[in-house]
Structure 1
Amino acid sequence: MSKKIFVIGAGISGLSAGIYAARSGFDVTIYEQHMTFGGLSTSWSRKGYYFEGGMHWLTGSSPKMPLYQIWKETGALKENNPIENRDPYYVYINGDKKLYMYRDLDKLCNQLRDFAPEDKKMIAKFYNDVKALINVHLVVNDVMGLKAKNPRHPGLAELLKMAPAGLKYSKLVNMSYEEYVNQFKNEDVRHLLMGSIGYRYNAMSFIYTIASFASGDCGYPEGGSVTMGQNMLDTYKALGGKIEFKKKIENIELDIEGKVTGVKIGGEILPCDAVIVTQDMRNAIDTLFDTMINDPVANKMRKNVVSEQNVFICAGIKADLSHLPKAMVFPLKEPFEIAGVKFNEFRIYNYASFKGRAPEGGSAITSLFLGPSYYYWKQAKEDGTYKQKKEELAKRFIEILAEYIPETKDKVEVTDVATPCTYERYCSSFEGSWMSVWEKGTKQYNYPQKLPTVQGVYFAGQRTMMPGGLPIAVYSGRIAVQLLCRDTKTLFV
């Protein structure tokens, strides 16, 4: 008889784990607390407008990348969602001045030299830094001791191509993203480059992001996060996998030896042989067990995780904005402050040219503001001002939007604001966060996906490997099942 496996969460990591477990012959059920799949990789509709809420580009979307095969195996990428490699991937606009974030590194740097000759030396440094990281990617590797139908290990040639990055590592890790960008003298160039990722990351994270685009990766699958998630769910069900929505796991039951015996849902104990936890690991270690886990791995995670929180604002515009770029960055005349965090750039994602995102003649736009805002919104929840503060933020956003995109003035039909409390409520993510911040001068912490004090429980999800995101979600689901297969002496398929 096949072993009964429960997966907690139907996000990308949960679907990945479910697919690989079902393929390997396990009896799998996914339990999802929300009414839909996708987790943090999600989208939603408001009054006929459809907002992409979880994916702006997909790492591993290029067939040249080892991760691409994982996306294909899980069914995430199919014929129904071809990849668009948008180029430029965003445009900086300051009045009549425009700068383009081209994928082609030579084209990008030639443009910067023409625009800002005073930064010639720094542009050359930037070029060399990106070149050194252009072959860096997530290495797909099987766990040691695994019996796999199709074993995968990186070849020497693949690893050697990434060696130049080692020469840049120490300097980039020990410099913040802002410090790196502030070496450019030209203010417009600084604004352009600060439109890439969250401001709290180190320079390594920034350069790696630019290098990933320059390598030909990081495309956008047609249909976005929901089509990709639906593809994975369909793949899972076709393998015989079962899924239960609106079922929140209250507790993981362990015997006196620390071995899993089942889970509690609605006060009822459901027996199982193993559990794969894809709910945020940082939260899970504190909330899913009768006794809070106290071991070196858990304590290290409690100490070191710095969460990347996001305020996500979207708007439905009764105007056709398809003549504008799909992603834009504007320099703000005055900082836009949210929860005590000041933003100097205004990033807009424009879905006007995407099918089905808005009523005829309308446009869906989104904007995200990354920074530590969880406790601000949590306090607002507690003191009863949460709704009011979200409405005030949406109003300020609309005013600034009309200033930079005049076509939107008096044309906003609907707004929606998602805060870290939103993501915490729907996904049980730690501090309502999307990813982990790799700060200046810190290690890139990765965590074991099984703990020595607990047997039969495996972890997957973006929190297990820094900085997280979609590639770690899908890959960690695969690794969790490989650990399960190794422990149960099962062939990994």
Structure 2
Amino acid sequence: MPTPESRPRVIVIGAGIAGLAAGCYAQMSGLDSRIVEKHVLPGGCCTAWARQGYLFDYCIDWLIGTAPGNDAHRIWRELGALDGKSVTNFEVFNRVVDERGREVSFYNDPDRLERHLLELAPGDAGPVRDFCRDLRRFTALDLYPFLTPPPLRTARERLELLRTVLPSFRLFWRTGATSMDAFCARLKDPLLRRAFPFVFFQDHEVFPLLPYLFNMAAAHRGNCGFPQGGSLGLARSVEARYTGLGGRIDYRAPVARILVERDRAIGVELKDGRREFADHVVAACDGPTVLGRLLGGRYSSPVTRALYDEALHKPESLYPGVVSAFIGLTGDLPPGTPHSTTYLLSPQDSARLPAVRQDSLVVQLRSRYADGFAPPGRSVLHCTYFSDFGYWQALRSRDRTAYRARKREVADFVRGFLERHYPGTSQRAEVVDVATPVTLRRFTGNHEGSILAWKSFTEAERLTERLVAKERMRLPGLAGFSMTGQWVTGGGLIRTASAGRFAIRYLCDELGMPFRAWPSDNDTPWHPDRWGELPQLGSRATYLGAAPA
């Protein structure tokens, strides 16, 4: 084991989940790491903020790896992410309601789902039974190859992966090759045909059947739940694990550029002019910013050029931004209200939502996800829709007053929409706060406010696989440097945590040091105090006070 004086020094840019994970694994493996973060708290997109006693949880809809016995759970245990926490599991992944009030509930239990869908649409028995049959098959699978990057897998790891994949190869291939659009074309019932793409709340457009089946099956096994403390709670737990391992985080420390000497990264220069030096720099932040501003466009590869010069500008490659409206209510919604509902909007409603992309609005009753999100006797809802960054950025740049007015239009629409579905809610609204894709860009630096970076099942994902497996998360011609996070592996929290693990595994392999990881043994029950000081993120909400008479 290296002495403290001889330990290789690592600087990680960004305290999102990937950066925190890289820091944790660096500390466990005997490296001397330090994280620099532009914001005032950890998590990146995995965040929350406070208004009038409400906590607005921004990120997690579901978290892969909440049940023991799989590699995804092992990573969260190593990072301390679930320490002392309960997990909420739901019987329904999502409910979808059309303009006329007809609805479908996507139960995670394949038997219950099949009965429900056949009652709604007996004429669609064939495709319904096919979908539920495949869902049953996925419930028997437990495949989470997130521990080791492909080039470093041992013969035993490769054999175990083959043992899992080969018996179900045809299932993976067939469901991965069948687009959701092709499946929906087989359905006769208009509600089912429109509703199926919204199992994951919004329509992910390019997805085949495989991810829907995979995640619903995980939810049925209890491995796709919502952790106590939510998004910021997850980040705070990993932060505590990192600092408990001896790591250091500097907040309010934006990086101006990566210092390079003779084609080797030697540290970073902060915006205030300070320079911090290290033997290795890990960039766990916005990919376009790293390649363009922090490295001055000096280093690239055919893969990064295909990603950042070409795929970045193709809408089908990149997840769009999201408009979020949080509503704090006195009282609660009726007891049987599902935790999540996607409402398919009429043309008239859709026309009232600025820059809406999919004619749909997702309404989540966040106070049913975990305790502490609303004061006693109150509840909080999170309403979202996919939207265009360019629209909001141009408006904010041209006219801040008009930008705020448009956010107010979102707030007014959401209050009115909820009033139609749940009479009396408008009068009980205490706080309505709206965040746009520009908001996410301002606080995280994410390109165009994209929530998950690269879309899965696209050419961009195939390029990221090459970036990880072939180029080992490095840039040719630049030593002492790695990239990690959602701009390297794609989004999803378990993937970003795994990306941090991969970066340190590669670094340990390069340095000839053993990679080490072990689970956290902190079993102290979660308490809201662990959120720490909650940021307000601005001086005022979009709307405060009771609705006018």
| 1:481 paired residue number | 504
Q: CA deviation at 1:427?
A: 1.0
| 1:336 paired residue number | 350
Instruction: Answer yes or no: is the 8 Å Cα contact 1:286–1:293 preserved in 2.
Output: no
1:430-469 equivalences under 5 Å are 430-435=447-452, 436-438=454-456, 444-446=462-464, 447-448=467-468, 449-466=473-490, 468-469=491-492
Tell me which protein shows more helix as a share of its residues: 2
Q: CA deviation at 1:103?
A: 1.3
Instruction: Answer yes or no: is the 8 Å Cα contact 2:82–2:237 preserved in 1.
Output: yes
Structure 1 gap segments, 5+ residues each = none
1:70-469 equivalences under 5 Å are 70-79=75-84, 81-93=85-97, 98-131=103-136, 133-134=138-139, 135=141, 137-143=143-149, 155=160, 156-169=162-175, 171-172=177-178, 175=179, 177-197=180-200, 198-199=202-203, 200-204=205-209, 205-256=211-262, 258-265=263-270, 266-302=272-308, 303-305=310-312, 306-308=317-319, 309-321=321-333, 323=335, 324-334=337-347, 335-337=349-351, 338-353=353-368, 354-371=370-387, 373-384=388-399, 385-435=402-452, 436-438=454-456, 444-446=462-464, 447-448=467-468, 449-466=473-490, 468-469=491-492
TM-score computed with the length of structure 2 as normaliser: 0.82
Q: Compare 216-225 and 328-337 and name the one that shifted more.
A: 328-337
How many angstroms apart in 1 are the aligned matches of 2:481 and 2:241?
Answer: 24
Instruction: Answer yes or no: is the 8 Å Cα contact 1:52–1:224 preserved in 2.
Output: yes
Q: CA deviation at 1:232?
A: 0.8
**Which of 25, 34, 38 lines up with 1:33 in the alignment?**
38
Q: Compare 477-486 and 390-399 and name the one that shifted more.
A: 390-399
- CA gap of 1:342–1:230, structure 2 versus 1, over 3 A, is closer
**1:184-213 deviation per Cα after TM superposition (whole angstroms, max 9, x unaligned):** 222333454233233223224444443443
TM-score computed with the length of structure 1 as normaliser: 0.91
Q: CA deviation at 1:136?
A: 6.5
Instruction: Answer yes or no: is the 8 Å Cα contact 1:201–1:440 preserved in 2.
Output: yes
| 2:28 paired residue number | 23
Instruction: Answer yes or no: is the 8 Å Cα contact 2:360–2:385 preserved in 1.
Output: no
**Matched letter for residue 265 of structure 2:** V
Instruction: Answer yes or no: is the 8 Å Cα contact 2:95–2:199 preserved in 1.
Output: no
Instruction: Answer yes or no: is the 8 Å Cα contact 1:142–1:153 preserved in 2.
Output: no
- CA gap of 1:12–1:443, structure 2 versus 1, over 3 A, is closer
- CA gap of 1:147–1:271, structure 2 versus 1, over 3 A, is farther
Q: Compare 270-279 and 197-206 and name the one that shifted more.
A: 197-206
| 2:63 paired residue number | 58
- CA gap of 1:202–1:97, structure 2 versus 1, over 3 A, is closer
Instruction: Answer yes or no: is the 8 Å Cα contact 1:402–1:408 preserved in 2.
Output: yes
Q: CA deviation at 1:169?
A: 4.9
Instruction: Answer yes or no: is the 8 Å Cα contact 2:114–2:132 preserved in 1.
Output: yes
Q: Compare 88-97 and 13-22 and name the one that shifted more.
A: 88-97
How many angstroms apart in 2 are the aligned matches of 1:5 and 1:142?
Answer: 20
How many angstroms apart in 2 are the aligned matches of 1:107 and 1:251?
Answer: 55
**Matched letter for residue 476 of structure 2:** P
How many angstroms apart in 2 are the aligned matches of 1:112 and 1:273?
Answer: 58
Instruction: Answer yes or no: is the 8 Å Cα contact 1:44–1:51 preserved in 2.
Output: yes
Say which SS state the counterpart of residue 300 (structure 2) adopts: coil
- CA gap of 1:132–1:38, structure 2 versus 1, over 3 A, is same
Instruction: Answer yes or no: is the 8 Å Cα contact 1:307–1:431 preserved in 2.
Output: no
How many angstroms apart in 1 are the aligned matches of 2:274 and 2:138?
Answer: 51
**1:266-290 deviation per Cα after TM superposition (whole angstroms, max 9, x unaligned):** 2222211111111022432122113
- CA gap of 1:472–1:147, structure 2 versus 1, over 3 A, is closer
Instruction: Answer yes or no: is the 8 Å Cα contact 1:307–1:430 preserved in 2.
Output: no
Number of matched residues?
A: 484
Q: Compare 154-163 and 420-429 and name the one that shifted more.
A: 154-163
Q: CA deviation at 1:365?
A: 0.4
- CA gap of 1:332–1:489, structure 2 versus 1, over 3 A, is same
- CA gap of 1:322–1:456, structure 2 versus 1, over 3 A, is farther
Q: Compare 131-140 and 453-462 and name the one that shifted more.
A: 131-140
Instruction: Answer yes or no: is the 8 Å Cα contact 1:140–1:153 preserved in 2.
Output: no
Q: Compare 395-404 and 332-341 and name the one that shifted more.
A: 332-341
Q: CA deviation at 1:473?
A: 0.8
Say which SS state the counterpart of residue 158 (structure 1) adopts: helix
- CA gap of 1:268–1:423, structure 2 versus 1, over 3 A, is same
